[in-house]
Amino acid sequence: MKTFSRNAELDEFFRQEVADAGYGGVDILKTPLGTRITIFVTRPGLVIGRRGVGIRELTEKIEKRFEIQNPQISVLELEVPELYPQVICNRLVHSVGRGVAFRRAANWVMNSVMNAGAMGIEISVAGKLRSERAHHEKYRAGIVPKSGNMARLIVREAKQDGILKLGLYGVQVKIAIKDAIAPEVEIIHIKKETIKEKPNEQTIKNETKPQKSRHNTENEKGNSKVAESKEVVNVPIEENKK
C-alpha cells in the first residue's frame, strides 16, 4: 500500500514538474542498487537541461521530498505521443485553458489519435465548463473495450483535473492500442442487416386489381346519362269521346 501511494505521488509530482515537456507517464522499478525511475516525455531536452542540470535538480528534489535513496532517473522520448492518454489529457486541459471550446478540442484530439493508428478513443469530461451547474459529456471514436482481459491488455487510461473561472472539471481519456492485440486475434466488424417486411395478401390483391383511369370513369358516367335520356316511355292515349 505504501509503494502504491508513493508511486501515485511521484506520478503527480512529475506531472507538475515536467508538464511543459509533454509528460506521458513514469515507470518506477526498485532494484538492489537503488530506485530506477524512467520518465516518458515528448521533448526530453527540456527535462535533461543544459549539461544535465535539469536531471540533477529533479534527483535532489526526489531525495529530499520522497526520501528515496540513490534514485536513477532516465528520460525517454515517446515515439507516437498521440497513443498516450496522459499526453492527450495535457493537450485538452491546455487547449481549454486558452479558451478553446471543449467539444472542438475533443474532436481535434480524437482525429489525431485515430490517424496515429489507435483502435479507439473515449474522452469523458465532468465539471463546470459552460455554466455554474456541473454536467457530464462523453466523446467516442472507434472501438474501446470496456471489460474483460482484452480491456486490461490494450486500453490505456489517464485522468487530469483542470481549473476554469467557473470552477473545477476533470478529464478522463481511454485509448485502445491496436498493436497490443495478439496476432492470432482477429477483429471482425459485423454489419447490421435490415429485415424487409413481407407484404400482406390484401395489399397484393389491391395492387393486382386494374385501376380505372379518371378519363375512362368520366366517359362511362357520360354514356350512362345519354342512355337514360334516350329512353322513350310509351303512354297509352285515350280518344276523347264526342
Domains defined along the chain, listed by start: 2-78 (3.30.300.20), 82-180 (3.30.1140.32)
Helix %, strand %, coil % of the chain (to 5): 45, 25, 30
Q: What is the pLDDT of residues 56-89, one digit of tens each?
A: 998 888 888 888 888 888 899 888 889 999 999 9
Residue 211: the pLDDT is: 55
Helix (H, G, I), strand (E, B) or coil at 226: helix
Residue 165: the pLDDT is: 85
Cα separation, 145 vs 131, in Å, equals: 32
Flag whether pLDDT at 241 surpasses 50.
no
Residue 138: the pLDDT is: 92
The lowest-confidence range among 78-92, 141-155, 226-240 is 226-240
Q: Yes or no: say if 86 and 170 are a contact pair by the CB < 8 Å rule.
A: no
Flag whether pLDDT at 202 surpasses 70.
no
Flag whether pLDDT at 235 surpasses 50.
no
Residue 124: the pLDDT is: 93
Flag whether pLDDT at 152 surpasses 90.
no
Residue 242: the pLDDT is: 41
Flag whether pLDDT at 174 surpasses 90.
yes
- Which of the two residues, 179 and 186, has the higher pLDDT score? 179
Q: Are strands 120-127 and 135-142 parallel, antiparallel or unpaired?
A: antiparallel
% of the chain exceeding 70 in pLDDT: 73
Q: What is the pLDDT of residues 39-59, one digit of tens each?
A: 999 888 888 888 888 889 988
Enter the pTM of the model.
0.67
Element (H, E) at 81: none
Determine the average pLDDT of the residues in 19-23: 85
